Amino acid sequence: MTPRRYLLMSIAVALATMALKAAAWWATDAVSLLSDALESLVNLAGALFALTMVALAAQPADAEHPYGHHKAEYFSGGFEGLLIVAAGIGIAAAAVQRLLEPQPLQALGLGLLLSCASSVLHGLLAVALLRAAREHRSMALEAGGKHLLVDVWTSVGVVLGLLAAKASGWPWLDPLIALLMAAHIGREGFKLLHAAVDGLMDRALEPEQCAQIEQVLAEFAHPTIRFDHLHTRRAGSRRYADLHMHMPASWSLGRAAALRSAVEQALMSAVPGLRASIQLLPSDVEAHFDDPRDLK
């Protein structure tokens, strides 16, 4: 299934869970369940934006974007992170007001039942999104899946807290739990923002993928052939590796090009989504980087 279909499924689930959680809040008048309902609204907005960014990222390269549009997915993660932080602030404000004016909880059984049903839907969808994110190397799907997992654990905390508030007869436990959930939600939002910014700054590949690249290069290494200046980066679902391959100056251009092509194909087969670019150099020639003039 394509990332677009997963995101359409996310939108449908967000609408369903938002209705369930809104009904749970209306039945109980619990501010912690209101926080859950607001979180589902964030899920819906995030899924809609992610759908737009995934469509943009899938567009082919053009004259103005010769390297493609793959980084568009990072905007999705950043946008969802901002929404999560905003939801956390809104939840905290509502919780503070309820702490100042405590109110008894109503129809708790029905509200918790509806909240649990929505959490099951979110949990199933989160697992599916994270599995698809690994398959498609999609930042948008990963952000959506992690956000849903946060929502699931938030709901678990809310349910346990409301049961404690009902059993103890302390209504202030409800807004207190909402404040704790707001802090947790805000923390996860900042983590998503950091991941999105990190991706836009051309972060290196994951250690596992770098190890795969090194293993392939080791298979081609020879006393007359060596590799250096390996640089990797991510751009959405695409992965890039640039490096130098040194070989005897006496080799013909055709022989050198054939070996380079074999190494590039082996690298791209070992790491899905990788685009490898190898510069050929004679064995006795070294490339120089970090010219002092470039650092001024």
104 Cβ contact list (under 8 Å, min separation 6): 171
Question: Cα–Cα–Cα angle for 150, 155, 161, nearest 5°?
Answer: 125
Residues 7, 239: Cα–Cα separation, whole Å: 22
Q: Out of 143, 170, 200, pick the residue that ends a domain.
A: 200
Q: Which of 181, 233, 197, 184 is nearest to 35 (CA)?
A: 181
Same domain, 109 and 124: yes
pLDDT of residue 280: 92
Q: 266 is in which domain, residue-wise?
A: 207-295
Query: Is the Cα dihedral 124, 130, 133, 135 positive or negative?
Result: negative
261 Cβ contact list (under 8 Å, min separation 6): none
pLDDT of residue 36: 65
The count of other CB atoms within 10 Å of the CB of residue 65 is: 13
The answer to whether 213 and 232 are in contact (CB under 8 A) is yes
Same domain, 272 and 191: no
Q: Out of 172, 200, 228, pick the residue that ends a domain.
A: 200
User: How many angstroms separate the first and last alpha carbons of the chain?
Assistant: 49
The count of other CB atoms within 10 Å of the CB of residue 261 is: 11
Helical (H) or strand (E) element with 11: helix 3-28
Q: Name residues of the chain where pLDDT drops below 70.
A: 30-36, 39, 103-111, 157-158, 161, 287-296
Q: Coil, helix or strand for 197?
A: helix
Which two three-digit tokens encode residue 152? 């699931």
pLDDT of residue 32: 61
Same domain, 80 and 49: yes
Question: How many domains does one find in the chain?
Answer: 2
Same domain, 192 and 269: no
Which two three-digit tokens encode residue 27? 């039945």
Same domain, 255 and 214: yes
pLDDT of residue 295: 44
CATH of the domain at 289: 3.30.70.1350
CATH of the domain at 102: 1.20.1510.10
- How many Cα neighbours within 13 Å face the side chain of 131? 8
Residues 71, 54: Cα–Cα separation, whole Å: 10
Same domain, 170 and 251: no
Q: Tokens 């704790």 — which residue?
A: 180
Same domain, 22 and 145: yes
Same domain, 123 and 11: yes
Say if pTM beats, i.e. exceeds, 0.75.
no
In eight-state DSSP terms, residue 258 is H
Query: Is the Cα dihedral 118, 123, 129, 132 positive or negative?
Result: negative
pLDDT for 218-232, tens place per residue? 999 888 999 999 999
pLDDT for 12-52, tens place per residue? 888 887 787 777 777 777 666 666 677 677 778 888 888 88
Same domain, 286 and 139: no
Residues 19, 10: Cα–Cα separation, whole Å: 14
Strand partners, 235: 238
Same domain, 158 and 279: no
Q: Out of 145, 172, 200, pick the residue that ends a domain.
A: 200
Same domain, 32 and 93: yes
Same domain, 230 and 271: yes
Virtual torsion, Cα 91, 36, 153, 110, nearest 10 deg = 140
